[in-house]
Structure 1
Amino acid sequence: MSEPISGAAAGAAGWKLLGGLAGIGAIGAGLASVVVMCAMTPRSPREWAVGLISTIMFSIGGGAAVIQHYDLQAWAHSPFGLVAMLGLVFACGLPGWAIVRWLFNYVEAKRTATLADVVRDVRGQP
């Protein structure tokens, strides 16, 4: 007769089912989104959606890029390393909302400008 699966084993199986390391990235991205949204309150539901998506994408993409660039994948083999990876993913998402918000504000201010006007503005030419 087989023994029942313990709670810890069931939890580990569930974690693997959800993606394991992807779950760490999702937690970091979600926390970064909450912090950024509290610090810079969105002005509209549309801005909230854009901010949430951009913060999550900056967290996941930026965190993965930093981990890959510095060859930190070995950290995934220890609980402390996973927490450190979570911190990296979190930190990479924080500037995402601000960058996207600045970009949208710039585009909104230049809504009637031509492409040549925008190029001159970016180059700093009068």
Structure 2
Amino acid sequence: MEPVSTSGVAAFLKFYGMLIVTTLAIAMVATVVLMMRFPRSPQEWAVGLICTVVSSLTGGAFIIVKWGLHEWITDIWGVIALGGFFFVCGLPGWAIVRWTFNFIDGQEGRTIIDVVKELKKAKDDFKN
């Protein structure tokens, strides 16, 4: 009888190890964000969770692909390091969405021309 292939087991552990680390990183960042900026309503809680998960996955994946960090998936320490990227990228997700919606709420009842003028003014103020 032939022994179990170690390369198959290693590939299995690498895939599921990365899946577990990514899931844990996302769960931790969602917990941190939702505890630091406690939601005011159930809708805000859902938006915060969705934005944190999406920014964590997309930002972490972008960093890993952009700088070719796939090669770190050789042992558990490399996988844990990649999980840190998922964690860090999830932190600003909810804040960016919250700022955007606060700006939109502040423009309620104004015309698009007024909004564009205000954006241009803010851009000019930022340059100076």
Using structure 1 for the length normalisation, give the TM-score: 0.80
Supply the distance in 2 between the matched residues of 1:91 and 1:78 (Cα, whole angstroms).
Answer: 21
For 2:43, the aligned partner's letter is R
Which residue in the other structure is 2:119 paired with?
122
Structure 1: runs of 5+ lacking an equivalent: 1-8
Which residue in the other structure is 1:6 paired with?
none
Supply the distance in 1 between the matched residues of 2:92 and 2:117 (Cα, whole angstroms).
Answer: 26
Which residue in the other structure is 1:32 paired with?
29
In the alignment, is the contact (CA less than 8 A) between 2:56 and 2:88 conserved in 1? yes
Supply the distance in 2 between the matched residues of 1:27 and 1:44 (Cα, whole angstroms).
Answer: 25
Which residue in the other structure is 2:106 paired with?
109
Q: Is the aligned partner of 1:79 residue 2:91? A: no
In the alignment, is the contact (CA less than 8 A) between 1:51 and 1:97 conserved in 2? yes
Q: What secondary structure is seen at the aligned counterpart in 2 of 1:108?
A: helix
**Where has structure 1 moved over 4 Å in runs of 4 or more?**
12-16
RMSD: 2.3
Which residue in the other structure is 1:59 paired with?
56
In the alignment, is the contact (CA less than 8 A) between 1:26 and 1:60 conserved in 2? no
Once the two structures are superposed, residues 79-120 of structure 1 have per-residue CA deviations (whole angstroms, 9 ceiling, x without a partner) of 100110111100000011111111111111112122222211
Structure 2: runs of 5+ lacking an equivalent: 1-8, 123-128
The share of aligned pairs that are identical, in percent, is 39
Q: What secondary structure is seen at the aligned counterpart in 2 of 1:80?
A: helix
For these two proteins, the number of residue pairs brought into alignment is 114
Supply the distance in 1 between the matched residues of 2:75 and 2:13 (Cα, whole angstroms).
Answer: 19
Q: What secondary structure is seen at the aligned counterpart in 2 of 1:77?
A: coil
For 2:61, the aligned partner's letter is A
Supply the distance in 2 between the matched residues of 1:25 and 1:76 (Cα, whole angstroms).
Answer: 12
Once the two structures are superposed, residues 25-80 of structure 1 have per-residue CA deviations (whole angstroms, 9 ceiling, x without a partner) of 22211211110111111111111110100000000000000111111011112110
Q: Is the aligned partner of 1:22 residue 2:19? A: yes
